[in-house]
């Protein structure tokens, strides 16, 4: 029982982020790169880092309006993330579809397909907003442990 408690304590301090691009224009992805690479907006100061596998992730950041072309793949990736997971919609596209909401190729908003815990509006959102959204996601994730 002590080992499990220690693992939960360690995990509570270091959530891992995973990004799913569900058909975005890459504007939000550029801003996410800003929070990962530039020391002024470094997301690691919140105690988390990006990972390359959905199976290692705790918090998923979704960009884009969820196009029909990538819908099934994005939903499969989402299902690979272990519970407890927190979903963050980054940018206006996953929240409402943005300028693509009336398109035949878009399945927006994304909360029709999977639960969204935190919305970060903007086109693209500012790095400060992304950091604030990730901080909210970390708080939600810690409550779910």
Identify the pLDDT of residue 92: 96
The mean pLDDT value for 132-136 works out to 96
Please name which of 51, 50, 32 lies closest in space to residue 41, comparing C-alpha atoms.
32
Threshold 0.75, pTM exceeds: yes
The DSSP call for residue 47 is: T
Mark out the alpha helices in the chain (DSSP H runs). Answer: 2-13, 27-37, 71-80, 92-96, 127-144
Residue ranges of domains in the chain: 2-144
Q: What is the model's pLDDT at position 10?
A: 47
pLDDT of residue 13: 62
Provide CB contacts within 8 A for 17, sequence distance 6+: 43, 48, 49, 50, 51, 57, 58, 59, 60, 61, 134
CATH 3.40.50.12280 fits 2-144, yes or no: yes
């Amino acid at each position: 029982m002590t080992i499990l408690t220690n693992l939960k304590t360690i995990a509570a301090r270091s959530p891992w982020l995973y990004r799913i691009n569900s058909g975005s224009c890459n504007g939000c992805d550029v801003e996410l790169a800003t929070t990962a690479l530039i020391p002024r907006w470094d997301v690691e100061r919140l105690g988390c880092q990006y990972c390359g596998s959905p199976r290692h992730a705790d918090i998923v950041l979704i960009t884009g309006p969820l196009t029909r072309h990538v819908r099934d793949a994005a939903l499969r990736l989402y299902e690979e993330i272990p519970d407890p997971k927190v979903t963050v919609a980054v940018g206006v596209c996953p929240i409402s579809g943005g300028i693509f909401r009336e398109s035949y190729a878009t399945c927006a908003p994304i909360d029709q397909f999977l639960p969204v815990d935190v919305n970060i509006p903007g086109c693209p959102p500012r790095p400060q907003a992304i950091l604030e959204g990730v901080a909210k996601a970390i708080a939600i994730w810690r409550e779910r442990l």
